Structure 1
Amino acid sequence: MPSASVASKEQPGAVVPTVSPEFVDDDGRVVLGNGPDAGEAPVAEQVVSKAAIVALDNSKAPRALPVEANVATAAERNQTIAVDWPVPQAVLFVSGQQHGYIEPCGCTGLENQKGGLIRRDTLLKELRERGWEIIPVDVGNQVRRIGRQPELKFQSTVEAFRTMGYRAAALGIDDLRLSSIELIQMAGSDGLNESPFLSANVSIIDESFFPSLRIIEAGGRRIGITAVLGKEHESEIQSRDILYFDAVEKLKPVVQQFEQEGCDFKVLLAHASIEESAELARQVPGFDLVVTAGGFGEPTLTPEKIEGSQAVMVQVGTKGMYGGIVGIYADAEQPIRYQKIAISSQFKDSQRMLEEFARYQRRLADAGFEGLGLTFTAHPTGRT
């Protein structure tokens, strides 16, 4: 992994760490995690130098959003949610493309930032308090880089998903860059915990490692959910332990099984571009909803009708700044209702997510600089 020495103009004789790229955020700051709230000790975030100059190859990093896109508007801080909806039979909560932003994203103060698991959990709690059957699903990319810190972030995200009751989650291409051992340990199911992760066309070492589908009964409906990784990402798979299969060929028997099992609402979690996600729905008929990881910036206000398919498609946005709710109804005229929701400061911090973050911070501290891939070198001037 390439690294860059960080030189400080403030302390020219100081010994400074060599920093690997996964510890540099989108604003060029060197961090070991997301920043603390005002008044807290800076355990999660360690800014190495205010004058740090970091030379990195970010050619494969996601395009940076304009600064204003990360700022919650007044409307996003005061949203009314599904106020005119009849009581749904079930509600899918859709998310994805977290890219390591387990805390709110932005440099404009917490009040104006969007995203974060601590707020997402509160939103889910408020939705469940309405008496609705909430089914959280995710289209992947929990992390963005490789190394020990992203592995710890992935671990904390998986534990948060279990706490929040996620029922299905795709594996994103960036998730698949983590070590196979970590993926097996964290994304696999064991005798005590059912993992939310599933995939029809990606597995680790053995084709049967992940379930290809999940059937959920809620509100009198049988909801079939599956997930795929798009063909466009096949060439990006780096580990020989990751098995990739043609998505169309693997989805056909899944839809057949949904039919045999009496599923009356079928969902595809597509970690793929908007174009490929739509094409999958056309080539494999039967899906009612496609949740795509494609797109850039905010999700669309309304679902997109996929031409040549009965399905509609919704987006999730970037950096975990948005979620979406899809209400399912026994109404031939309007079988679903949808609303995108900015994860803004409207949703207070969840205490149980704060406790999860505290565990994450302790893991960072236990790993130390060496365990996190940080090494100390002499200053480039040679004076130390």
Structure 2
Amino acid sequence: MSWIERRRTRTVWVGRVPIGSSHPIVVQSMTNTFTEDVPATVAQIKELERVGCEVVRVAVPSVEAARAISKIKEQISIPLIADIHFDHRLALLSIEEGADCIRINPGNIGAEWKVKEIVNLAKERGISIRVGVNAGSIPSELINKYGSPKPEALAEAALSYSKLLEDWGFTNVKFSLKGSDVKTTVLANKIFASQTDYPIHIGITEAGTFISGAVKSSVGVGILLYEGIGDTLRISLTTHPKEEVKIAYKILSALELRKRGVEVISCPTCGRCLVDVEGLAKEVEERLEHIDKPLKVAVMGCAVNGPGEARFADVGIAGAGNYFILFVKGKVVEKLRPEEALNRLVEEVERLAEER
């Protein structure tokens, strides 16, 4: 049984993927290609699929991008969300082209009748909507009320949108409340979560470059997940989107909420280290990113940090001068030359994954 009790929510479907508290937390990402460049977008989505992305979002800033949706969908295996800002006609066209979900921010769509047209067509086609509320696009009356995009302002905006959609008979919706800082995002989501049972998409928007964004996202998302809040997530980073997916799974794994793929354990290095542990560990991660079975793999730089400290790893290698040792479940099984160590490790991990 998990040590974290997830908040109870209703279930919303994005294509064939269920989102809600009774289902696994869904990992998603967003392409950074021009959506109308169908070959490039499909290629990137397939990269994301390979590392475990379960739902993908594409930007739709133009008619050309919207019309590309049907062509993209024909070639991918995961549900596709159309990300719409400002122009409600692009949302309508995206739905007609087969999008599995529409992401809108009513705060920048404009007149209420435009939002209602999107909702009516989504209802007619049986697809869900993600309502996004960002700190940068809160209705002016709430900014005037609170003086700034405070957590209370984000939560009130999201709650008002939920009531509006409910008045129109539409509840097939999930919400996201995001700021670019941890405090605003966490507090806004906690307020909203305490007053509704809608599923919540979590993340820190505009989190930053790889290291700073990963740290900020891990803190913010980690706090929310520990509180039981979050049914789907994206780690927003200024880098290749497949890194977002990998970090999302690492966060979920650290909290014991989901296990996927290889977890590489490597020593921090010290004066005893006789091999390039950093380079080797990175290469191991790259070579094994296709493995989806949850396995723990150790890469150690000396005999001290070998089987002893990594005894709970499924498999690992440790450098010991001019040779490596291969160990499985803490027991040494083979002595290897440096040039064969990496390949043997990969072979052993693939064998274990196959067995599982």
Higher helix share: 2
For normalisation by structure 2, the TM-score amounts to 0.39
For normalisation by structure 1, the TM-score amounts to 0.37
